Structure 1
Amino acid sequence: KLESVLGRLAEEYSQSRTAAHKFAGQRSIPLENDQVRVILVPPPEEDASAIGRTTLVSYGVKIEAISRHLMRVRIPISLLEEIADKVEGISYIRLPYQPSSDMSSEESIKVSNSLRGSQVYPQQVFLGVISEGVELTGASDYHDSGYKGQDIKVAVIDIGFNNLTNSRNNGELPETVITKDFTGAGLETGRDHGTGVAEIVYDMSPEAQLYLIKIADEVDLENAKDYCIGQGIDIISHSWIWENTNFTDGTGLICDIANDARSKGILWVNAA
């Protein structure tokens, strides 16, 4: 039931604490007080409610987050194997997935934002400054005809919205943006990628209602998707890649999350 790298970590820890920490450092596995953050996966066709929470707590496990199908916890390294064997409702224990950025999309954001302020369109002075992409893509023609994203809800799901306050104060984003942080680390920590994406969305659809949602892993992503469904979101923008989480055939957990959003009427726009 243990991912092989976790099995090796438990084996190293049984030899010595030093050996375990050395191995964790080599594999870039964060440890805190001899605990490791992992994802608990229930059996197929089951959801996270099948996992024995009371038993986990009795082992000293810290439950950090629960989504419909997953649970993120911190487990003492010394108890990994025992918990895998004895706690009900667990079919697999693995490290969290980590989203990675598409560098070309990041460069596109940098280029777009570097052009911001170079041109101000008189008909849209309420925006302050607008990227040249609005004119180049023909979006300004739609704006002139009155199509500015009104009555549309757009969610940007990202791992960081640093400098969000500055963007609001400078008029690059409206004060009406709605924010949600599923990480607990604070919306304006980490990278500013999400802020850059949101600024572009705002330029292209200045009257759309923006939702900025911060995540860190697949548990947060599933919760963010369910939140979007509950909020009646029309479009999700998610410019991140989840490598090695499927066979690139449209199957797997991340694809299931996106497909569920689509089945509820949400257009999911993702980096490719």
Structure 2
Amino acid sequence: MKRILILLLVLSTVAFSAIAGAPLSVGVSQATRDQWNNVASSFETNTGIKVNVHPYPENSLAQQAVIEKTTRAGKVNLVMLRNDWGKSLQRYVIDLSDYEQRLSDAGVKLMYVGDHPLGVIIPFAPDWFLAVISWPENPDDAISFLETLTGKPTLATQLPSLSKVSPEAMIKSFATKKINIAEHNPKLDGSLETLLDAVKSMVGTMAANFMSKLPAQAQTTLSGLAKMYGVPFSPATSTVTVVLELQRGHTSSASVAALSALGVHKGAIEASTSLIKVSIPLSQLSTIVSQIGGISFIRPPYTPYVMSITGQGIHAIKADVLHASGVTGSGVKVAIIDLGFAGLSQAQARGDI
């Protein structure tokens, strides 16, 4: 009996590890294996996301898309398909309309059937496109991989070396730096913009948009800046905690659904009627600003402080002079007439009270 229990425990542990650490799986043509291995290696270096490249004969790639769609086995997340197969295989691949703007902004060339973006044209094989046929555990991993197919030098060759300036000097520099009003995003709190500017200055704009875990020097600098500005920041995961203020008339449920679609874990989201608190990788903040509708402002959470001064009214109205003369009002009865609080029910309905 003990042996059976131990065996079950081992098997469940192995299965759990396999699920928890499932890599991104990409099906490619055997003829392009070397190019894909280079793309995958660079992507892993820059993002920390593991990629498994599976080479297949060209004539079996369409079959992989059909099998995955019908069995939902989750063995392959992205697959390489010929452009002229797009129309016949449209129902077997995932429509990327929700990510169209993000992919276009990244500089990739989208492959369309009608008005529907079905994948990204492969720069080193322009007669082919890479399509998503099943989402990985984090859909953002698949989209980030597609974003690398620009035909430009990979991040590994573009990353600037980190500044030789000490983190302390970097913190001091950014603490006094003013944001250009023309570049300021009115939806984003200035402290969060400063953090984004800091990481882009240290690792480059492209890398900042991809890297879920930042280099140690960047983490130290950001930790110092975040502490200075009161922004909850985790150096271990490079995540920030922010509050999304909703526009009037928008419900939090719609915004929560949009966050989930971007790969934000539900456990990282707390929502009320008009506010959403969420913990996200700093690299994902710009995406949320540009893609989540119904948001009026994004800021750090407010921190309540206990005030040390109990009151200043007595001195302000010079009542202390009367007290010194023995006039304290002791024994005097005071009547308070309360006519109610205007707008109480509306404030409660909005979740303000």
Q: Bigger relative contact order, structure 1 or 2, given CA contacts below 8 A and separation 6+?
A: 1
Which structure has greater helix proportion?
2
TM-score normalised over the length of structure 2 = 0.29
> Which has the larger Rg?
2
